[in-house]
Chain A
Amino acid sequence: MNTDAIKELLYKIADDQLIIGHRNSEWTGMGPILEEDIAFSSMAQDKIGQSYALYQLLHDLGEDEPDQVAFMRKANQFKNSQLTELPNGEYDYSLLRHFLFDTAESIRFEFLAQSAYSPLALLAKKIQGELRYHTMHANTWIKQLGNANQESILRLQASLDQLFPFALGIFEPSPFENVLIEEKIFVGEKVIMQKWQEQIAKILNATELLIPSFSEPAIYGGRFGHHTEHLTLLLEEMSEVFRIDPTAEW
């Protein structure tokens, strides 16, 4: 199997999970409802845990230790989609991102459960339940707020419109797209995007929200290490203590 292609695939998924998990963890202790604070934090923990497992797979392929990889790389070495690095904004914004991202993520892992690269297939099967809860959570919230009152509908719509081109950027094709498909490691971004469109449409059509055009230009770059300035700041903050002495045990 093409190891470079596998590594590239693992990095982008792991980086996505780490960065969105980090962002979502910022809500801990500041959520809109106590119970939601707890639920959102659990999902952030799941994401960080999933990224750790993926970095561990990379380590098995010869990359550095997970801590070094996560805390010591520069922004341009990260392959996450830009969607995940944007600052949290208000709750509507974080919730909408969670919905758009996790729908894509659960489809991605559904396919990865069939991957010819068995360590990844195993991991995908294992975390299926976590992702089930994440999409259950997102769908329930979007349906509730997307049908509630004028303010919630307007807020969600504005966030949806802003985030949509970034969400389309999740599916930025990788340089190894064809190899991954040929070797049956990964079904490819096009297939994922197709299913994603169907699923988010299904949920959004049950609300008052209008779906932006799927053909609007996507914001790409993340998968190639091009990021907004927010990622640099996020990484500086995340590694502030770790970098005091990266060889120390904390």
Chain B
Amino acid sequence: MNKSLDPRINRLNIDKYPADLTRKVPLDQFGTYEVFTQSKTEQPYQHEGIVHAPSKEMAFIFAKEQFSRRMTCSGLFVVETKNIFVTATTENNINVYHTVSEKFDTTGHLEQYEFFHLLKRGKQHLHVGSIEARNAQEALALAKPAFSEEDPVLNAWIIKTKDILFSSEEDTIIWNTLPDKKFRNASAYKASDKIKAFKESQKSTL
């Protein structure tokens, strides 16, 4: 290949790498973890998106920079996508809890489950609370009275608390300097004075 304009690329010695590409085997990739962040301590946790990672710990490390490198953050957690129980998404603004059966399986032992609700299509799931139950179906049925009369919930996610990796209290200092990263925000780049001064100088030279 010709010399690149990018010195980093010239250091890569691209020609050393074979040009043929072996197609990746299907699923030559990590599982995905869903990421939730809390912008301030009084705010609910909100779903942000996913990271691909080989373990919870790595998912946490990745999520921190992909989803909380701006603004403020007071907590973050990750959970493997496959560990989330998902209800159907309802039609016509029907509350999903109205469709939940009163009957449920009673197998399993008591564990804590976290609840997340979607209140509007296109928005994020928000954390609303937790409940103890023997399985996800029971948790959903137990939650029914609490949420049936509220704003319609279009979709609910239920996650066993123990499947989640939370940021620890002592680690929250990792977000301490976020407010100082002004260079990542539009507000740090004001230059209207410079334009004004330039226009003035143009006028005076005419």
Contact = CB atoms under 8 A, between A and B. Distances in A.
Interface of A: 26, 30, 33-36, 38-39, 41-42, 45-46, 49, 87-88, 126-130, 132-133, 136-137, 140-141, 144, 237
14 contacts: A35-B62, A35-B66, A36-B62, A39-B61, A39-B62, A39-B64, A39-B65, A46-B177, A128-B173, A129-B175, A130-B174, A136-B174, A137-B61, A140-B61
Given A87-B11, A144-B58, A38 B65 contact: yes
A140 B171 CA distance: 15
B177 A35 contact: no
Nearest to B12: A30
A83 B76 CA distance: 34
B4 to A, nearest CB: 12
B111 interface: no
B58 A132 contact: no
A237 B177 contact: no
Given A38-B65, A42-B65, A129 B174 contact: yes
- A35, A133, A137 interface centre (most CB from chain B within 10 Å): A35
B174 A144 contact: no
A42 B54 contact: no
Given A33-B52, A35-B51, A140 B177 contact: no
Contacts of A129: 173-177
Contacts of B64: 39, 133
Given A35-B51, A38-B62, 10 more contacts: A26-B8, A39-B62, A39-B64, A39-B66, A49-B183, A88-B11, A126-B177, A132-B174, A140-B58, A141-B58
Interface string B26-51: 00000000000000000000000001
Contacts of B61: 39, 136-137, 140-141
A35 B52 contact: yes
B171 A136 contact: yes
Main secondary structure of the interface of B (DSSP, over half): helix
Main secondary structure of the interface of A (DSSP, over half): helix
Contacts of B57: 140, 144
Nearest to A28: B8
A133 B174 contact: yes
B53 A35 contact: yes
B55 interface: yes
Contacts of A237: 7
A68 B141 CA distance: 66
B196 to A, nearest CB: 15
Interface in B48-80: 51-55, 57-58, 61-62, 64-66, 69
Contacts of A127: 177
A237 B5 CA distance: 12
Contacts of B175: 129
A112 B128 CA distance: 42
A237 B11 CA distance: 13
Contact of A130 (B11, B66, B177): B177
Contacts of A49: 180-181, 183
Interface string B1-17: 00000011001100000
A46 B176 CA distance: 12
Contacts of B66: 35, 38-39
B58 A126 contact: no
A133 B173 CA distance: 9
A137 B57 CA distance: 9
A241 to B, nearest CB: 12
Nearest to A237: B7
Q: Which 4 A-B pairs have the closest CB atoms?
A: A129-B173, A35-B62, A129-B176, A133-B174
A81 B100 CA distance: 64
Nearest to A134: B174
B37 to A, nearest CB: 15
Interface in B158-206: 171, 173-177, 180-181, 183
B8 to A, nearest CB: 5
A36 B61 CA distance: 9
A216 B78 CA distance: 42
A136 B66 CA distance: 16
B176 A126 contact: yes
